[in-house]
Amino acid sequence: MRVTSENCDCSTNAADAGWYQMHAVEVLKKSLRAIELARRINDLHTEVFSRFLATYQLTAMGELAGASEHALVMLTQAERARDRDFRAMACLANLFLCRHQGDRVSARGFSDRGLAASPRATWVVGFRAVLEYQVGDFVQGEAYLERLLDAMGAAVPGPSPEYIAPACILPMVAHITGVVDQLDIAEAAAVAVLSSPSATPLHAMWARFGLALVAAQRGDAATSGAQYAVLESTVRGTMLPGLIPGDRLLGLLAQTTGKLDEAMAHFEDARTFCGKAGYQPELAWSCYDHASALLQRNRPGDGVKANSLLDEALANARHLSMRPLMERVFALKELGELGRGDRPAGPTNPDGLTQREVEVLRLIALGKSNREIAEELVLSVRTVERHIANIYGKINARSRASATSYTLHHSLAGTSSST
C-alpha cells in the first residue's frame, strides 16, 4: 500500500478519537500504526502527536521503558519540526515520566524547556507545582500554582486544560500538604468541565478524578462512594499519567466510605503496580496510604504491617527528598496507635510530649536555630515552628531559655536522633 499523508491522518485521527473516548487498546494500536506511516513519509507533526498518544497509553499501562523511548524520540522530532507547541507537548510527556520515576532534576529541566517553548502550557505548570510541593519547596510550588489559577481565571469555563488541570492539581497539592483551603476552587473547575456538553469521556474522567480526591480529603463518604462507583471500572489497574495510580485513588475513596477491606486490596494493587512499573514516588505514597488505612482498621497484626509500610515509605521518601511525605510518616507514627496490641508501649514523656517534640526540645537545649533543627530532623521550618508552639503550650514555656531549663530539669537533654 502506498503511504500518503491521508493514510497518516486517518490513523492519527482514529487514535486521537479513541483517546478521548478512553479506548485504550485502540489508542495504542492506532498510534503505533500512525508512527510507522509518518516515519515512512517524514511527517514529523503526525509522528510527534502519535508518539504522545503512545507515551500516554504506555504510561497508563505501567510500561515505563516503552513510554520513555517514545517520549525521548518525540522530543527530538519536535525539535526538528520547529513547532513550539509540539516541543511543549514533548517536554510534558518527559516531565510526567521523570516525575513518576522520582527524577526531579530531569523533571525540572523538562518543565523549564516546556515553558520556554510555550509559557501557557497549563499541564506543564500544574505538574511543576506538584513536583515542587512534593519535595517540600512550598514557595516555588505556590508560585506555579498561582500561574495555574491565573490561567484558569482568564479562560472560558469548560473542558479545557485551563479548567481540567486545576481540577486535578489542586487536590493533589492538598493531599501532599494537608492544606485544603483551595478545594472549593478545584470542585468548581471540575463541575464546569462536567457540565459542558462538549466534555468527552476523557475530560469527564479527569474531572471526576479531581472530585474524588476532594471528597476523600473532606471525609465526604457519600460523594466518595458515588465517585468510586463511576470510576472503579475505568481506572482500576492503571496509572493516570502525571497524576496517581487508579487503585490508590480507589483505595482512598473506599477508606473514606469505611470499606476498609476494599481499601486494603486497592492499596495492595497500587503498590504492586508501582513497584513493577518503577513509579517510585507513588509507591512511597501508596505505602503511606495503606498504612493509614491499616491503623484505622486496627485489627490484630495491622499495627505491625503498618509499621513496616511506613518504614518502606520513609526509606523511599528520604531517597527521593520528599520532605512532606517524611513529615506525614513521622506524624502517623506519633499518633500513639502504631502497634497497639502488637507490642508493648514505650516510656511516657512528661506533659504529653510526643517523641518528636522531645527531639525538638533537645536541639533547642543545644542552642540550635529553627532552621538548624529543621535540617537535622528533615522537617520544614514551618513544621518546626508548629512543634515549638505545641511544646510551649504543653510545658508552659515562653522562651527558648525556659524550654531549655525544662529539658534539663526533666533529664531530656540526651543526644537527639533524627529518625
Write the pLDDT tens digit of every residue in 154-174: 999 999 999 999 999 999 999
Q: What contacts 279, CB < 8 A, 6 or more positions away? A: 62, 64, 100, 101, 239, 245, 273
**Co-location of 114 and 193 in the same domain:** no
Name the region of 42 (left: φ>0; alpha: ψ -120 to 50; beta: rest). left
Q: With pLDDT > 70 as the criterion, what percentage of the chain qualifies? A: 93
Does a structural domain hold residue 384?
A: yes
> 293, 328, 343 — which closes off a domain?
343
**Co-location of 380 and 327 in the same domain:** no
Res 7 pLDDT > 70: no
177 vs 336 pLDDT, higher one: 177
Does a structural domain hold residue 414?
A: no
Torsion of CA 376, 381, 387, 388, to 10 degrees: 100
What is the pLDDT averaged over residues 367-382?
84
Give residue 386's pLDDT: 85
Give residue 417's pLDDT: 43
**Co-location of 254 and 321 in the same domain:** yes
pLDDT level of residue 96 (50, 70, 90 thresholds): very high
Alpha carbon distance 9, 417 (integer Å): 62
Write the pLDDT tens digit of every residue in 32-54: 999 999 998 888 989 999 999 99
Does a structural domain hold residue 27?
A: yes
Does a structural domain hold residue 34?
A: yes
To the nearest whole number, what is the mean pLDDT of the chain? Answer: 90
> 86, 119, 152 — which closes off a domain?
119
**Co-location of 174 and 231 in the same domain:** no
- Whether 80 contacts 103, CB under 8 Å: no
In angstroms and rounded to an integer, the radius of gyration of the C-alpha atoms of the chain is: 24
CA distances from 151 to 77, 82, 122, 169, 385 (A): 28, 25, 7, 13, 34
* Domain assignment of residue 87, given as a range: 1-119
Res 343 pLDDT > 50: no
Alpha carbon distance 119, 33 (integer Å): 32
**Co-location of 55 and 164 in the same domain:** no
Torsion of CA 372, 373, 376, 381, to 10 degrees: -90
Res 302 pLDDT > 70: yes
C-alpha grid cell, residue 232: 472503579
Alpha carbon distance 86, 74 (integer Å): 9
Give residue 328's pLDDT: 87
413 vs 117 pLDDT, higher one: 117
Q: What is the largest CA-CA distance in the chain?
A: 88
Provide the whole-model pTM.
0.83
Res 78 pLDDT > 80: yes
**Co-location of 281 and 391 in the same domain:** no
**Co-location of 210 and 245 in the same domain:** no
Res 62 pLDDT > 60: yes
**Co-location of 104 and 124 in the same domain:** no
Give residue 339's pLDDT: 45
Give residue 412's pLDDT: 82
DSSP 159: S
Nearest to 297 by CA among 331, 264, 248, 329: 264
Does a structural domain hold residue 417?
A: no
Look at the chain and report how many structural domains it folds into. Answer: 4
Does a structural domain hold residue 26?
A: yes
What is the pLDDT averaged over residues 128-146?
95
- Whether 63 contacts 26, CB under 8 Å: no
**Co-location of 226 and 177 in the same domain:** no
**Co-location of 188 and 251 in the same domain:** no
pLDDT level of residue 5 (50, 70, 90 thresholds): low
**Co-location of 235 and 310 in the same domain:** yes
Write the pLDDT tens digit of every residue in 63-76: 999 999 999 999 99
Query: Between vectors from CA 19 to CA 13 and to CA 22, what angle results, nearest 5°?
Result: 140
| Residues across the chain | 419
Alpha carbon distance 339, 345 (integer Å): 8
What is the pLDDT averaged over residues 387-395?
90
Res 348 pLDDT > 70: no
Alpha carbon distance 398, 403 (integer Å): 8
Give residue 311's pLDDT: 92
Place of cell 463541575: 191
Torsion of CA 143, 147, 152, 155, to 10 degrees: 170
> 202, 218, 234 — which closes off a domain?
218
Q: In CATH, what number is assigned to the domain containing residue 83?
A: 1.25.40.10
Does a structural domain hold residue 145?
A: yes
What is the pLDDT averaged over residues 91-115?
96
Task: Say how many C-beta atoms besides its own lie within 10 A of residue 300's C-beta.
Answer: 8
**Co-location of 308 and 324 in the same domain:** yes
Give residue 3's pLDDT: 53
Q: Say how many Å lie between the first and final Cα of the chain, rounded.
A: 65
Res 378 pLDDT > 60: yes
Give residue 338's pLDDT: 41
Does a structural domain hold residue 416?
A: no
Torsion of CA 97, 103, 104, 110, to 10 degrees: -50
Q: In CATH, what number is assigned to the domain containing residue 403?
A: 1.10.10.10
